[in-house]
Amino acid sequence: MAGMDDIGLGEAADALVAGGITGPHVSHRRRGNITKIHSMLRDDVESRFGLSGFERYSAPQILELMARLTGCSKDPDDPLEQDYIDPSLTIAAIVAAARRLRRAVDGGQSLLAATGHPTGLLEHHMRVVDAYRAAGGKVVSPREQELFARGGRARIRYVGSVACLCDGASLLHTHSSEAMEALLEARPWPEIVLADHGFAGAALERGIPAVAFMDINDQALVVPWDEDKDVVIVPLDDNRQPRHYEPSWKLFELILAGGEPGA
């Protein structure tokens, strides 16, 4: 990658495709993604990320929204084996998300960052948090080390100011909204959230603006987007090698510092 001041959108897109973050080599199979939409609408509460309103949608409607956000096929019978995220949509969303955070800095808004995928997105979110703080933004870390999730056996640990669920010894993968719902029992609430999965969903359900990262098999986040809530959704594969997200965090760093990427 070039230096931060030299990063271009085309270079960033190419690097994200090469890393499997976006493009034709994302890691989820098409049929499994279609099945998950039906499961989410029927009875899979955890995959709803703490959001409501699913009774208003059919599976074809959710797939249509996913197609608009990710560029995937809206045909449920498409024979494509692996699903697809359009790199141009990912790049445009990253730029929009970084500009949204820049406005939050300018407005003096406090940021809470969280991830349910620490093996993939943690370093990315840490870099964005650092850039937010360097731009003059306030970052908050509520309820650190309090036991509350998973029957009182788990807690939040902040790594580089990013909230992760942990069991005391290990960071945990979670799609559940339970941890974020517990964090939001404390006041004051953050004024904007940078998150994924149930961390993003629970915030949006309470009307908190969000920059949300959405894999192609995490379809619940299209509902608040369709409802015109204050959310910018970045479509990407959320569990690749952490270093492969570098083009994304460099764009965030550039824009939060007041710059703009070239072509």
Instruction: Give the model's pLDDT for residue 79.
Output: 79
In whole angstroms, how far apart are CA 137 and each of 130, 133, 197?
A: 9, 5, 24
3-state secondary structure of 93: helix
**Residues 190 and 110: beta-carbon distance below 8 Å:** yes
Please determine, for residue 1, whether its predicted confidence score (pLDDT) is greater than 80: no
Kindly report, residue by residue over 193-246, the tens digit of the pLDDT: 999 999 999 999 999 999 999 999 999 999 999 999 999 999 999 999 999 999
Instruction: Give the model's pLDDT for residue 191.
Output: 98
* Residue 4: Cβ-neighbour burial (10 angstroms; 0-12, 13-18, 19+): middle
Cα–Cα distance for residue pair 112/92, rounded to 1 Å? 23
How much is the pTM? Answer: 0.94
| Mean pLDDT rounded to a whole number for the chain | 93
Tokens (6 digits) for 2 = 């070039």
Could you tell me what percent of the chain has a pLDDT over 70? 95
Kindly report, residue by residue over 133-176, the tens digit of the pLDDT: 999 999 999 988 676 666 667 789 999 999 999 988 899 999 99
